[in-house]
């Protein structure tokens, strides 16, 4: 089989046998297509260490929209190639060993989170009583209460929630299921929002047609997309007077930061965020660093005169 066919088989394997999401599969296709277009190889046995080294130089010098590729994006390309090579090895197809490819070192990722006063202003921004304000307030409170990814939020159905118990299960990355919990304010916002829903649409968050919002809400049976939620949050961040960029992921970061600031251990935060590796959760070291500073100030050098 030629290498294009093997890539196609691998992508189908990811989707069917590994249960990867459609978005993940699309990303892998993009990364592998870029490699094939650049490498111009016909067979896996043509992939060797020198070819990969030249490809990494190409990625490092590549510009997209007049900007160089970030190290993390370069690594995404290499991860896709490395995993493809692992798949080929399982099929007893001769090629470069995936273990011979190392990822580039990258600077620790900084996370953006909201300070307490910014967060409070944002959550209170949908101040009206119409269906749009009720929906948007529920979205904001739910994101902060659970730390959901925006894709997870958009995929929720009304029957996903258990408002009486204040918790529900969500299927995250890699089809992994975790339990998330509702704060009292999130549960109240969701109850108020759902009480005004007169439609039979299954999606928890659906689009609302423009018009007289004080009249009975008439939903157009269209589930909100991730882009729609991003626009909603951007709108309310402006209303709240927050000058920096605020995204759904900012609320996820704020959720984790709030837990750690309140004394939660990082393993528990890892579980609530649905991270498969503690390394991913360790991007929140800015919080533990702040706590260490307080410990140093309170306990260091107290016996010195």
Looking at the annotation, which residues are catalytic?
149, 173, 249, 252, 275, 284
The C-alpha atoms of residue 148 and residue 144 are separated, in whole angstroms, by 8
Give me the phi and psi of 37, to 5 degrees please. -65, -40
DSSP label at 45? G
- The count of C-alpha atoms lying within 13 angstroms of the C-alpha of 219, restricted to the half-sphere facing its C-beta, is 21
Nearest 10 degrees: Cα torsion 170, 172, 178, 181: -50
The C-alpha atoms of residue 131 and residue 185 are separated, in whole angstroms, by 17
Q: Which two tokens stand for residue 100?
A: 């011979």
**C-alpha angle with apex 125: 256 to 155, nearest 5 degrees?**
55
> What are the residue ranges of helices labelled H in 91-165?
116-123, 131-146, 150-154
């Amino acid at each position: 089989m030629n290498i294009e066919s093997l890539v196609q088989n691998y992508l189908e394997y990811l989707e069917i046998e590994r249960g990867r999401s459609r978005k993940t599969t699309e990303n892998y296709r993009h990364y592998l297509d870029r490699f094939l277009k650049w490498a111009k190889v016909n067979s896996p046995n043509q992939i060797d260490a020198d070819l990969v080294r030249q490809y990494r130089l190409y990625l490092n010098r590549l510009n997209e929209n007049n900007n160089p590729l970030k190290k993390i994006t370069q690594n995404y390309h290499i991860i896709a190639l490395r995993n493809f090579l692992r798949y080929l090895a399982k099929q007893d197809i001769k090629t470069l060993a995936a273990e011979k490819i190392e990822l580039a070192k990258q600077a620790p990722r900084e996370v953006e989170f909201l300070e307490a006063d910014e967060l409070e202003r944002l959550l209170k921004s949908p101040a009206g009583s119409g269906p749009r304000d009720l929906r948007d307030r529920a979205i904001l409170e739910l994101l902060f209460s659970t730390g959901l990814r925006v894709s997870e939020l958009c995929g929720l159905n009304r029957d996903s929630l258990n408002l009486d118990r204040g918790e529900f299960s969500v299927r995250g990355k890699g089809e992994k299921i975790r339990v998330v919990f509702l704060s009292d304010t999130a549960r109240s916002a969701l109850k108020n929002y759902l009480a005004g829903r007169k439609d039979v649409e299954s999606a928890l968050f659906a689009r609302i047609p423009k018009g007289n919002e004080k009249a009975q809400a008439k939903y157009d049976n269209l589930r909100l997309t991730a882009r729609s939620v991003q626009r909603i949050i951007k709108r309310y961040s402006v209303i709240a007077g927050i000058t920096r960029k605020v995204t759904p992921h900012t609320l996820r970061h704020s959720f984790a930061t709030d837990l750690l600031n309140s004394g939660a251990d990082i393993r528990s935060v890892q579980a609530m965020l649905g991270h498969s590796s503690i390394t991913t959760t360790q991007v929140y070291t800015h919080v533990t660093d702040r706590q260490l500073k307080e410990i140093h100030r309170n306990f260091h050098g107290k016996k010195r005169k």
